[in-house]
């Protein structure tokens, strides 16, 4: 396994500038309108960084399991190894305050590989940028199983939850935090969700609440205070959801920063939930949701 040298789940630009040769750097820029921001990478990226395609590397193809289902772990390891990543700790960044970088953070952290997110993303970087395409000088890692803990052969069940378990966990008292915007949670019309609303019993915690006005994560004390108001505490006793299992990881990262227990990622999230019309849906605010079907 790769030895840990990261100071925590977040690093700032000053730390990264001083340790750029001791880590692998992953550019995970993506947006709903554009998809993977490959052209933005070519126009300028952190030195020695590698572009990681959220759709092709960090996800299986979209389908009944949602828009960004988790790929099999061996496929993920192979994808990362082929990019030349995994020999060293990984620092991920994007241009949306960690909204997509957190997904790669969760995937590597779940299998025990040292990883952090660059706080503030590319906007916080004050050093020079490189231009060019996706080429990277590092060859593929010869043994993908060496990425993370080699004894972990599947996504750890203690770190995630499947669709069939969701309602039972909520009934048993686990809180489900939905990282989508409050408007999407309430069921207001939007271009992303073909079915409007939220999972019955869920609570709205937009991922943007984790971010301060200057685009970096709020202080750990602030995050701890707000998340504990949602009863986020013990590991495994809360569930993180969103539209497709991406920004849900932002809430999981915020809990780690706050020193709270790891929740479970519902990777399929809303896009998987609504793929089966027999699953119930609520609209309106969490405290007074109305059953839609």
Positions annotated as catalytic residues are: 242
DSSP 277: T
Q: Which residues partner with 36 through β-bridges? A: 30
User: Residue 27: CB partners within 8 Å, gap ≥ 6?
Assistant: 41, 45, 46, 49, 50, 51, 52, 93, 94, 122
Give the side-chain half-sphere CA count within 13 A for 135.
Answer: 4
Angle separating helix axes 220-228 and 248-257, nearest 10 degrees: 110
Of 147, 179, 167, give the one whose Cα is nearest residue 250. 179
The answer to whether 20 touches 125, Cβ cutoff 8 Å, is no
Cα–Cα distance measured from residue 161 to residue 263, given in angstroms and rounded to the nearest whole number: 10
CA distances in angstroms from 25 to 101, 144, 189, listed in the order given: 11, 17, 37
Cα–Cα distance measured from residue 107 to residue 109, given in angstroms and rounded to the nearest whole number: 6
Could you tell me the strand order of the sheet in which 175-178 lies? 203-204, 175-178, 238-241, 264-265
């Amino acid at each position: 396994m790769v030895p840990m040298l990261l100071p925590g789940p977040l690093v700032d630009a000053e730390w990264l500038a001083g340790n750029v040769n001791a880590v692998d750097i992953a550019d995970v820029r993506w947006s709903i309108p554009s998809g993977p921001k490959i052209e933005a990478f070519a126009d300028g990226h952190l030195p020695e960084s590698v572009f990681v395609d959220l759709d092709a590397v960090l996800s299986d193809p979209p389908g009944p399991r949602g828009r960004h289902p988790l790929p099999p772990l061996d496929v993920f390891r192979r994808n990362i190894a082929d990019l030349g990543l995994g020999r060293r700790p990984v620092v991920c960044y994007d241009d949306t305050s960690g909204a997509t970088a957190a997904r790669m953070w969760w995937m590597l952290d779940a299998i025990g590989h040292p990883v952090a997110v660059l706080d503030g993303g590319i906007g916080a970087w004050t050093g020079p940028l490189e231009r060019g395409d996706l080429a990277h000088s590092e060859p593929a890692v010869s043994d993908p199983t060496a990425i993370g803990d080699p004894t972990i052969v599947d996504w750890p069940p203690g770190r995630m939850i499947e669709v069939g378990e969701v309602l039972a966990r909520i009934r048993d008292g686990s809180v489900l935090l939905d990282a989508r915007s409050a408007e999407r949670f309430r069921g207001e019309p939007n271009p992303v969700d073909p079915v409007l609303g939220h999972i019955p019993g869920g609570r709205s915690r937009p991922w943007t609440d984790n971010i301060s006005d200057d685009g970096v994560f709020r202080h750990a004390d602030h995050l701890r205070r707000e998340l504990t108001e949602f009863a986020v505490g013990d590991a495994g006793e809360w569930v993180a959801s969103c539209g497709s299992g991406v920004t849900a990881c932002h809430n999981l990262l915020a809990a780690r920063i706050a020193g709270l227990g790891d929740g479970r990622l519902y990777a399929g999230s809303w896009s998987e939930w609504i793929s089966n019309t027999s699953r119930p849906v609520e609209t309106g605010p969490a405290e007074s949701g109305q059953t839609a079907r």
